[in-house]
A and B are shown apart, each in its own frame.
Chain A
């Protein structure tokens, strides 16, 4: 019986944590300007819930219960730090604001978007934007974030602590920026979400639960931003892009765990439901009439998906989309992908000519896909020796054993 109650309480607490953690942190942080204090207070509130609820039962409004306890902790903490005279005004203000928001209605205002903008503030090192969002909105601990971003846990912990101190000391505001700067600032939020998603997606086999989780969390955050800013085309574009990528997760390996390149993936193994959701989102974005990086990248995915119906991707469209993306980003990786599209439309030699133009780009010299693309086109052009050398470069730069094996097989076929 006691065990049963314990289980029920844990489930209830986990449920609130899942749906309300970020909301509670965002509300407390916006009020106090102090993310770290909000986190400490809420974690104490959760600990209190685990001892209190089994005895007294799960409250009708667990969110409000947690908020009340967290508030008490914040006020106690602030009282210890400040002298009584100056503290009282400030504290009464905080107490009143929490009180009114909790008692007038059970719904706690959703400040998560404001918190995300604070985490992705230009005054915070951009490498920390995604980790901060994962920690404050989703409650990930530093060790989990560190393992996903391949950083030592203590290092990540220190960086997060420092970033949160800076948010407080420098007076970074917790609010959604004005229309005049919303687009630019939103880019940073979207980039952070995409970084979290990409970390998760880069684990193709899905054996690392933590990283696979990150892709799902990236999509969850993408959905959250879309629900809070439904008229922002780039937010819609990013979500469409992530869903397209997620739809192909299972097709990236065959039953034996071998790497399958996009062009050879079995379209039956793509998730049709996710694809159709992505297409709907992209259509919605395009109607808003403001093109951007994520919409273009999602559109490239759409053009690949056409293969489900026609048997081949719409390479002419892909080439045009990469042209537009390159004008926007000037990224050498985009230029590389454009070369591959050119090869599909105009032939291997044209693709190679486009690749040659990129040969001096320092960021590509050590980039495996550049050498793999080059090797593939050289092979198609009948230049087996040069292709062999290029495959060797690609194999030497690859970290994923399955991809390495795939490249070695392609290299071996050249001999025959």
Chain B
């Protein structure tokens, strides 16, 4: 099954983190990504730019409305994602637990609709 691991974290903390912390975090993520690849479960994944770069679009009455900012203002923001292919939820949960983002933030695990 395909699962999306959605990485939520406090963006402000990440942006104001010391250089060492940032370097360390990025190294942890690259090791994690490598582990996913080695296990043959990685389908895709990316880090997102901060919500300050986000635009939200909505179409109502045939008119396109563009809003400056993310869909919802929340304490923790979506910072990135991985898509993995594993046999079941237990596997997906154990990969989510290994994600560096789980240390300070939350990883939401969502199965995909199989098309």
Contacts and interface: CB of A to CB of B under 8 A. Distances in A.
- Counting chain B residues whose Cβ lies within 8 A of the other chain, the interface size class is 10 to 19
Q: Which of B1, B87, B89, B109 has the largest number of chain A CB atoms within 10 A?
A: B89
Contacts of B109: 170
A178 B112 CA distance: 26
B73 interface: no
Nearest to A117: B90
A268 interface: no
B88 A173 contact: yes
Interface of B is mostly: mixed
Given A171-B1, A171-B111, A177 B89 contact: no
A170 B111 contact: yes
Interface in B89-115: 89-90, 92-93, 109, 111
A169 B111 contact: yes
Interface string B1-41: 10100000000000000000000000000000000000000
Q: Which of A122, A170, A177 has the largest number of chain B CB atoms within 10 A?
A: A170
Contacts of B3: 171
A172 B88 CA distance: 6
B88 A171 contact: yes
Interface in B71-96: 87-90, 92-93
Nearest to B113: A169
A173 B111 contact: no
B50 to A, nearest CB: 30
B70 to A, nearest CB: 26
A159 B3 CA distance: 24
Interface residues of A, number: 9
B87 A173 contact: yes
B95 to A, nearest CB: 13
B111 A123 contact: no
A172 B87 CA distance: 10
A298 to B, nearest CB: 30
B44 to A, nearest CB: 19
Nearest to A177: B90
Nearest to B2: A171
A99 B92 CA distance: 31
Interface string A158-175: 000000000001111100
B2 to A, nearest CB: 10
A123 B93 contact: yes
Nearest to A167: B89
A172 B3 CA distance: 12
Interface string A163-204: 000000111110001000000000000000000000000000
Contacts of A172: 88-90
Nearest to A169: B111
Nearest to B93: A123
A169 B1 CA distance: 10
A177 B109 CA distance: 20
A167 B88 CA distance: 10
A170 B89 contact: yes
B113 to A, nearest CB: 9
B86 to A, nearest CB: 8
Contacts of B111: 169-171
Contacts of A170: 89, 109, 111
Nearest to A86: B114
A169 B109 CA distance: 12
Contacts of B88: 171-173
Contacts of B93: 122-123
Contacts of A173: 87-90
11 contacts: A121-B89, A122-B93, A123-B89, A170-B109, A170-B111, A171-B88, A171-B89, A171-B111, A173-B87, A173-B90, A177-B90
Interface of A: 121-123, 169-173, 177
Given A169-B111, A171-B89, A177-B90, 4 more contacts: A170-B109, A171-B3, A172-B88, A173-B87
Interface of B: 1, 3, 87-90, 92-93, 109, 111
4 closest A-B pairs by beta carbon, nearest first, are: A173-B88, A171-B89, A171-B1, A171-B88
